[in-house]
C-alpha cells in the first residue's frame, strides 16, 4: 500500500460547485461534523466560504445550506427494525440557492453527496422541492477478507484487487488512513453497513469476535464518521473454538449463554455494532445440522443474543450438498436453498434476515432469479449480489454488472413475461425493500415481515485503483446507488460515475465508456457460457474456460452435454422439479421448452443441438455465433477505448489497456475451447465455415 489510491468517484474536482459557493452547515451530530469538514475543505480549495451555525440561525446570503430540520417541523419517518436511522433529506432550490434539510445527521451526509453528484446542476434550473429517502435502511457490503493469508484463498477470498483494506500480516492494519478514504467512497454511494470479514471464518478470523474486539472497534470508529455500521461474520462453532465448550448446539443452554456474553462484550466495545453474518452448514462451515437442529434454531439462538442491542443476524441461504455424487441425477443443487428454507418460513425471529443469492446456483453470468425470494413471505429476505467478479471476468474483463442487477431487481414473480398490465405486481426490489404491494404476499395474501434489504460481496482491495480494473469501480458505484433506489437506470448510473470519476473529460471519453461498458455483461455471456448453462470454468480459481471442469465433480454443477444435446432438465414433468419452485406464471413458463426464454433454455431443459430457439437459430449455431460475436465485440471495445485513452490519466489508461488485452486473449481462448468442444461433441459444422479447431 505505497502508492496513493486513485480518487475514484470523489476527486477534488467533484467538489468544485460546492467549493466555490457560500455554504452554511447547521446542526449537531457526528455526521454533521463530517459534512462540515467536507464543506470546509472544498470551500478552502475553490475559494468559497463556509460557516457553521446553529439550526435556525439567519442564513440570508448563503448559496447552499445543509441543515438539520428545526425542532418541531418534522418527525423522523418510520424505518425497519434494525435500521433505526432516518436517512431521508429534503432538497429545495429557490432562485439558485439550495437548502438540504434532514431530520437526522445521516440524511445531511446523503444530502451533501447528492449535491456533489449533481455538481453545477444542483444550483441551475427551475425551483425544486424534492424529498429523497433510501428504498431500504439495509444497504450492506460484505467483505470476504481474511485476517491471515489463507493458503488457498489468499488474503481476500475471490478478491481481484490486491490485499485487504482491513488486514495485513495477520492483524488489523495499524494505519487505517486508506480505510478512511474507502469509507468516504462508500458513504458517497449510500452504503451504510459493512461486514468486515470472510463468511468462511477460519481459526484466526474467529478471534475478531473476542480477542480482537479493540481492533474491530478501531475499524468501526473509521466507518462511524461516515454513517456506516460494522458487522462481523462469525463461526457457528465459536462456543467450541473460542469458548472451550464441547458443543455449539443451538438448543444447549451453555451455548446460548456463551453467545449472550459474547454479544454483550461486542456491544460494550462498539455500541453501534450492526450484527452477525453467518454461513452455516455450507461448504464445510459448521452449523446446526450437526446437532439435528434447523437453521431457524441456529439463527434464532443468535438473534436472541443480539436482540437487546437491536442487532441483526444475516443468515445465508446458500446451503447445498457440495459432496454430491455426479452419478446421482436426482439431486439438483438448484433446488437446495428452497428445499432447506421454504419449510422454515415464519420460524425466524424478527431480527433475522435470510440472505439469498440472486440465483439458485452461484453468481453465474446468467441464472434465473432465485425462487426463495418469493417463497418466504413471513421472513425478512435480503437479496445478495456479487460485486466481486468471481464468475464474470475477475476484474480482468470489463464487465459492467449494473444491467444484470437492474434486470434482477425488476423481475416480477407473479407477472407473465411482457405483461405490461402487471406493473403493480411486486418486483424483486419490492420484496427486498418491503415497498408497495410487497407488504402483502400475492400468493397467499399473508402479511410480510419487514424487508431485509440488500447485501453484496465487495470487489475492493488495496490496489491503486481499489478494484483492479479501473472500470470495475463502476460496479461498486452502481451497487450502492441501486440499493438506494433500485429503479435507477444503469446506463444513467454509468454517466453519473463517469462524470464524477473523469471530471472535465471530453464527451468522447463518456461515449467510449458507454461503448465499452453498456453491453459488456451480455458480451461476457456471449463468449463464455451460452443459454444459461453455467459453470464451464476452471475449477478452484474459476477463471478461464474448462467445459468439463466441473462435470464429474461433487459440486452439483453439470451441463450433461453428450453427442446429441445439452442442458439440465429441471422440469417437474421429467426433470428435477426445480421449475415447480416458482409461483405461476413462471413455473409454467420455465416448464415448457416452448415458452422458456432462450437465455435460460439450458438451465431448464436438455435439448438436442438442433433445437430451434425463439431467435430462429439452432442451439449449436447459437453457440458458434455468440462466441464469434463476443470476441468481435471485445475487439470493438478495444478500438473504442484506444481512441480516447490519451485523454485520461496515464496510469489509468495503462491499466485499462493491459486489462483489455487480457480480456481479448481470454475471450479468444473461451471462444475456441467452447466452439471446439461442441463441434467435436455434436459433429455439426458451423454454417458459416469459420475456423473451429
Ligand atoms: O461463490 C462461492 C465462492 C466461495 C464462497 C461461496 C459463498 C465465501 O466460490 O469462495 O465462499 O460462494 O458464497 O459462501
Kindly report, residue by residue over 186-211, the tens digit of the pLDDT.
999 999 999 999 999 999 999 999 99
Whether 188 and 93 share a structural domain: no
- CATH code for the domain of 531: 3.90.1330.10
Give the residue with greater pLDDT, 71 vs 347. 347
What pairs with residue 352 in β-bridges?
313
Mutate to test the pocket of ligand 1, among 155, 277, 283, 389 (most ligand atoms within 8 A of CB): 283
Helices 507-517 and 490-501, interaxial angle, to 10°? 140
Task: Report if residue 511 sits inside a domain.
Answer: no
> And the C-alpha cell for 175?
494505519
Range of the domain at 619: 524-568+606-682
User: Into how many domains does the chain fold?
Assistant: 3
- Closest ligand 1 atom to 199 CA: 8
Name the closest-CA residue to atom 2, ligand 1. 362
Q: How far apart are CA 370 and CA 347, in angstroms?
A: 20
Average pLDDT over the chain, rounded to an integer:
95
Name the closest-CA residue to atom 3, ligand 1. 158
Region 133-154: what's the mean pLDDT?
96
**Which pLDDT value is given to residue 77?**
53
Whether 312 and 378 share a structural domain: yes
Q: Which of 132, 149, 179 is the last residue of a domain?
A: 132
Task: Report if residue 574 sits inside a domain.
Answer: no
Task: Report if residue 689 sits inside a domain.
Answer: no
Residues 287 and 250: beta-carbon distance below 8 Å: no
SS (HEC) of 390-452? CCCCCCCCCCCCHHHHHHHHCCECCCCCCCHHHCCCCEHHHHHHCCHHHHECCCCCCECCCCC
Distance 150 CA to ligand 1 centre (A): 14
- Closest ligand 1 atom to 457 CA: 13
Whether 369 and 402 share a structural domain: yes
Q: Which of 100, 132, 164 is the last residue of a domain?
A: 132
Task: Report if residue 250 sits inside a domain.
Answer: yes
Q: Active-site positions?
A: 283, 362, 390
Distance 232 CA to ligand 1 centre (A): 17
Whether 497 and 562 share a structural domain: no
User: CB within 8 A of 282, min separation 6: which ones?
Assistant: 316, 318, 319, 320, 322
Whether 614 and 494 share a structural domain: no
Query: What band does 424 get if pLDDT is binned at 50, 70 and 90?
Result: confident
Whether 123 and 145 share a structural domain: no
Whether 271 and 411 share a structural domain: yes
- Closest ligand 1 atom to 363 CA: 1
Name the closest-CA residue to atom 13, ligand 1. 318
Whether 125 and 240 share a structural domain: no
Task: Report if residue 590 sits inside a domain.
Answer: no
Ligand 1 pocket (Cβ < 6 Å) reads 144, 157-158, 199-200, 279, 318, 362-363, 390
Mutate to test the pocket of ligand 1, among 362, 534, 543, 553 (most ligand atoms within 8 A of CB): 362
Q: Report ipTM (2 d.p.).
A: 0.99
**Which pLDDT value is given to residue 441?**
64
pLDDT in tens, 278-305: 999 999 999 999 999 999 999 999 999 9
Whether 51 and 196 share a structural domain: no
The fraction of the chain above a pLDDT of 90, given in percent, is: 90
Mutate to test the pocket of ligand 1, among 142, 143, 157, 201 (most ligand atoms within 8 A of CB): 157
Q: How far apart are CA 559 and CA 336, in angstroms?
A: 18
Q: Which of 83, 99, 132 is the last residue of a domain?
A: 132
**Which pLDDT value is given to residue 74?**
55
Task: Report if residue 519 sits inside a domain.
Answer: no
- Closest ligand 1 atom to 357 CA: 13
Task: Report if residue 600 sits inside a domain.
Answer: no
- Judge if pTM exceeds 0.80: yes
Distance 195 CA to ligand 1 centre (A): 15
Query: What band does 443 get if pLDDT is binned at 50, 70 and 90?
Result: low
Distance 299 CA to ligand 1 centre (A): 20
Whether 477 and 549 share a structural domain: no
**Which pLDDT value is given to residue 364?**
98
Q: For CA atoms 298, 299, 303, 306, give the dihedral sign.
A: positive
Query: What band does 58 get if pLDDT is binned at 50, 70 and 90?
Result: confident
Task: Report if residue 517 sits inside a domain.
Answer: no
Distance 420 CA to ligand 1 centre (A): 37
Query: What band does 59 get if pLDDT is binned at 50, 70 and 90?
Result: confident
- Closest ligand 1 atom to 285 CA: 14
**Which pLDDT value is given to residue 370?**
98
pLDDT in tens, 154-197: 999 999 999 999 999 899 999 999 999 999 999 999 999 999 99
Q: Cβ-count burial of 246 within 10 angstroms (0-12 exposed, 13-18 middle, 19+ buried)?
A: exposed
> And the C-alpha cell for 369?
432469479
- CATH code for the domain of 27: 3.30.379.10
Whether 290 and 362 share a structural domain: yes
- Closest ligand 1 atom to 157 CA: 10
> And the C-alpha cell for 437?
404491494
**Which pLDDT value is given to residue 526?**
98
- CATH code for the domain of 239: 3.20.20.80
Query: What band does 75 get if pLDDT is binned at 50, 70 and 90?
Result: low
Mutate to test the pocket of ligand 1, among 144, 315, 386 (most ligand atoms within 8 A of CB): 144
Whether 418 and 558 share a structural domain: no
Distance 174 CA to ligand 1 centre (A): 28
> What number of CA atoms fall less than 13 Å from residue 68's CA on the CB side?
24
Amino acid at each position: 500500500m505505497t502508492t496513493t489510491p486513485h480518487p475514484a468517484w470523489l476527486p477534488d474536482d467533484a467538489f468544485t460547485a460546492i467549493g466555490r459557493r457560500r455554504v452554511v452547515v447547521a446542526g449537531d451530530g457526528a455526521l454533521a461534523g463530517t459534512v462540515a469538514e467536507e464543506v470546509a475543505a472544498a470551500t478552502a480549495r475553490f475559494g468559497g466560504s463556509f460557516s457553521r451555525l446553529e439550526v435556525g440561525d439567519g442564513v440570508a446570503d448563503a448559496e447552499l445550506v445543509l441543515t438539520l430540520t428545526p425542532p418541531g417541523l418534522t418527525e423522523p419517518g418510520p424505518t425497519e427494525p434494525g435500521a433505526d436511522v432516518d436517512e431521508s433529506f429534503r432538497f429545495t432550490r429557490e432562485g439558485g440557492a439550495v437548502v438540504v434539510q434532514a431530520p437526522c445527521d445521516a440524511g445531511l451526509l446523503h444530502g451533501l453527496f447528492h449535491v456533489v453528484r449533481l455538481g453545477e446542476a444542483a444550483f441551475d434550473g427551475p425551483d425544486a422541492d424534492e424529498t429523497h429517502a433510501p428504498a431500504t435502511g439495509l444497504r450492506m457490503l460484505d467483505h470476504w477478507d481474511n485476517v491471515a493469508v489463507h493458503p488457498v484463498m489468499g488474503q481476500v477470498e475471490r478478491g481481484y484487487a490486491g490485499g485487504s483494506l482491513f488486514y495485513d500480516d495477520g492483524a488489523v492494519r495499524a494505519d487505517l488512513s486508506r480505510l478512511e478514504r474507502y469509507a468516504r467512497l462508500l458513504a458517497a454511494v449510500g452504503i451504510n453497513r459493512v461486514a468486515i470479514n470472510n463468511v468462511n471464518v477460519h481459526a484466526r478470523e474467529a478471534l475478531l469476535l473476542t480477542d480482537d474486539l479493540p481492533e474491530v472497534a478501531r475499524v468501526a470508529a473509521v466507518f462511524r464518521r461516515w454513517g456506516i455500521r460494522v458487522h462481523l461474520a462469525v463461526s457457528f462453532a465459536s462456543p467450541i473454538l473460542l469458548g472451550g465448550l464441547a458443543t455449539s448446539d443451538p438448543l444447549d443452554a451453555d451455548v446460548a449463554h456463551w453467545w449472550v456474553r459474547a454479544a454483550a462484550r461486542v456491544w460494550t466495545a462498539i455500541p453501534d455494532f450492526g450484527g452477525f453474518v453467518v454461513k452455516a452448514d455450507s461448504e464445510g462451515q459448521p452449523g446446526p445440522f450437526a446437532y439435528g437442529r434447523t437453521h431457524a434454531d441456529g439463527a434464532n439462538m443468535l438473534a436472541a443474543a443480539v436482540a437487546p442491542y437491536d442487532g441483526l443476524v444475516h443468515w445465508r441461504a446458500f446451503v447445498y450438498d457440495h459432496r454430491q455424487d455426479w452419478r446421482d441425477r436426482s439431486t439438483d443443487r438448484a433446488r437446495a436453498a428452497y428445499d432447506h428454507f421454504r419449510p422454515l418460513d415464519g420460524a425466524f425471529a424478527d431480527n433475522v434476515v435470510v440472505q439469498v443469492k440472486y440465483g439458485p446456483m452461484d453468481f453465474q453470468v446468467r441464472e434465473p432469479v432465485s425462487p426463495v425470494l418469493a417463497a418466504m413471505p413471513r421472513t425478512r429476505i435480503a437479496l445478495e449480489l456479487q460485486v466481486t467478479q468471481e464468475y464474470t471476468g475477475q476484474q480482468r474483463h470489463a464487465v459492467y454488472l449494473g444491467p444484470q442487477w437492474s434486470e434482477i431487481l425488476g423481475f416480477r414473480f407473479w407477472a407473465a413475461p411482457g405483461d405490461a398490465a402487471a406493473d403493480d405486481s411486486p418486483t424483486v426490489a419490492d420484496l427486498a425493500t418491503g415497498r408497495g404491494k410487497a407488504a402483502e404476499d400475492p400468493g397467499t395474501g399473508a402479511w410480510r415481515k419487514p424487508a431485509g434489504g440488500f447485501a453484496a460481496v465487495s470487489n475492493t482491495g488495496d490496489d491503486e485503483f481499489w478494484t483492479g480494473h479501473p472500470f470495475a469501480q463502476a460496479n461498486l458505484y452502481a451497487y450502492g446507488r441501486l440499493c438506494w433506489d433500485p429503479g435507477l437506470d444503469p446506463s444513467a448510473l454509468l454517466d453519473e460515475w463517469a462524470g464524477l470519476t473523469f471530471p472535465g473529460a471530453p464527451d468522447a471519453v463518456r461515449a467510449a465508456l458507454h461503448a465499452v461498458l453498456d453491453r459488456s455483461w451480455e458480451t461476457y455471456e456471449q463468449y463464455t457460457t451460452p443459454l444459461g448453462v453455467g459453470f464451464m470454468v476452471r475449477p478452484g480459481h474459476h477463471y478461464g474456460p474448462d467445459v468439463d471442469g466441473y462435470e464429474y465433480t461433487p459440486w452439483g454443477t453439470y451441463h450433461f452435454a453428450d453427442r446429441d444435446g445439452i442442458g439440465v432438465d429441471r422440469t417437474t414433468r421429467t426433470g428435477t422439479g426445480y421449475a415447480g419452485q416458482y409461483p405461476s406464471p413462471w413455473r409454467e413458463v420455465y416448464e415448457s421448452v416452448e415458452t422458456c426464454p432462450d437465455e435460460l433454455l439450458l438451465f431448464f431443459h436438455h435439448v438436442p443441438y438442433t433445437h430451434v430457439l425463439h431467435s430462429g437459430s439452432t442451439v449449436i449455431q447459437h453457440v458458434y455465433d455468440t462466441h464469434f460475436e463476443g470476441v468481435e465485440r471485445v475487439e470493438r471495445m478495444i478500438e473504442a477505448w484506444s481512441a480516447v485513452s490519451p485523454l485520461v490519466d496515464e496510469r489509468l489508461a495503462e491499466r485499462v489497456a493491459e486489462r483489455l488485452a487480457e480480456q481479448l486473449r481470454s475471450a479468444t481462448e473461451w471462444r475456441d475451447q467452447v466452439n471446439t468442444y461442441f463441434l467435436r461433441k455434436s459433429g455439426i459444422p458451423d454454417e458459416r465455415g469459420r475456423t473451429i479447431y
